[in-house]
Structure 1
Amino acid sequence: MRVADLIKNKGSSVVTLPSTATVTQLLETLDDHKIGAVVVLDEDTVVGIVSERDVVHHLRTGHEQTSPLSELMSTEVHSVTAGDDLVNLAATMTERRLRHLPVIEDGALKGIISIGDVVKARLDALEAERDHLEDYLRR
C-alpha cells in the first residue's frame, strides 16, 4: 500500500495555521478538530509543523500562550510523497519518533499522514489477508 492509497481512503484535508497564529489559536484548532498536529503554512508554503508535544514543551519552559507559532514549531519538516510505501513509512516514523508527516508533491501540500493512519491501514490489510486465507481454507 502506498501513501496515495491511504490519502484516497482518508481524504486530503489538512488543518493549517500561519506562523503568526498564537499558541492559544493552535490549542483551539487542535481541540476543535480533535487532532494532534497542525501544518504551518505561510503563503501556501509549508514552513513548519507544530504538535501537542511542542506546546507542552513551550508552556513548561515558561513561554506564553500569546507566542506566535514561529517560536515553537519544528522547522525541519519531514515529509512523504504519494508514492511512498506504508511499510517503509511506518519504520521511518518509529525510528524518528514522528507522529505526523505532511504529504508534499511538487512543493504543494496534498495531505497529512498520522501514525494512527498507518497503523489502521496495516491492521485493515492484515484483517483482509486473514479473511482471504479463511475463505481459502473453507473451500
Structure 2
Amino acid sequence: MRISEILRRKGSDVVTVAPGATVRTLLAALAVRNIGAVVVSPDGNAISGIVSERDVVRWLHIRGADLLDTPVSEIMTSDVRTCTLDDRIDGLRRTMTEHRVRHLPVVYEGRLVGIVSIGDVVKSAISELTTERQHLVEYLQGQY
C-alpha cells in the first residue's frame, strides 16, 4: 500500500502554524484538533519544521511556564523527515521506527499535501491483515 491510499482514506487536511506563533497558540491547535503534532509553515505549503506534544513537554521541563510565550520556531524540529505520495507503507514503518518519529508530512512537488501518523500506519497494517485473513479463510473454505 502507498501513502496516497492512506491520504485517500483519511483526507489530506494538515494543521499548520506559522514559525512566529507562540507555543500557547500551538497548544490550542493541538487541543482543539485532538492531534499530536503540527507542521510549522510560513504559508501552508513550505515546511519549516514540525512540533509535537513531546517537544512541548521536553521544552516545558527545561524552560518552565515562560515557554508558552515563546515562538514555535525556537522549539520545532527543523530537520523534518518527510514522505511522498508514492512511498510504500512498509518503508514508512521502517523510517518511523528507526528515527523514532510519529508524524511524517507528505510532500508532492515540494508542497505539503498531507501528514501521516503512526496511528494511520497501524490502521493500514490492521486493514491489510484483516483482508489477508479473509482471503485465507475463503480459500480454505473453498478447498473442502
TM-score bracket, normalised by the shorter chain, equals over 0.9
Return the offset for 1:21: 0.8
Q: Partner amino acid for 2:95?
A: T
Alpha-carbon displacement from aligned partner over 1:17-51 (angstroms, at most 9, x marks no partner): 10111111111110101100000111331100000
Q: Aligned to 2:14, what secondary structure does the other structure show?
A: coil
Percentage of pairs with the same residue: 47
Q: CA RMSD in A?
A: 0.8
Give the aligned partner of residue 2 of structure 1. 2
Q: Partner amino acid for 2:2?
A: R
Q: Partner amino acid for 2:59?
A: H
Give the aligned partner of residue 11 of structure 1. 11
Give the aligned partner of residue 94 of structure 1. 97
Equivalence map 1:72-83=2 (5 Å): 72-83=75-86
Q: Aligned residues, how many?
A: 139
Give the aligned partner of residue 107 of structure 1. 110
Return the offset for 1:136: 1.3
Give the aligned partner of residue 126 of structure 1. 129
Mark the runs of 5 or more structure 1 residues left unpaired by the alignment: none
Alpha-carbon displacement from aligned partner over 1:86-136 (angstroms, at most 9, x marks no partner): 001101100100100000111111100001100110110000110111111
Q: Partner amino acid for 1:13?
A: D
Return the offset for 1:10: 0.8
The whole-number CA distance in structure 1 between the counterparts of 2:95 and 2:110 is 21
From the two aligned structures, give the one with the greater helix fraction: 2
Equivalence map 1:4-43=2 (5 Å): 4-43=4-43
Give the aligned partner of residue 46 of structure 2. 45
Return the offset for 1:137: 1.1
Return the offset for 1:55: 0.3
Mark the runs of 5 or more structure 2 residues left unpaired by the alignment: none
TM-score, length of structure 2 as denominator length: 0.94
Return the offset for 1:74: 0.5
The whole-number CA distance in structure 2 between the counterparts of 1:81 and 1:45 is 14
The whole-number CA distance in structure 1 between the counterparts of 2:113 and 2:38 is 14
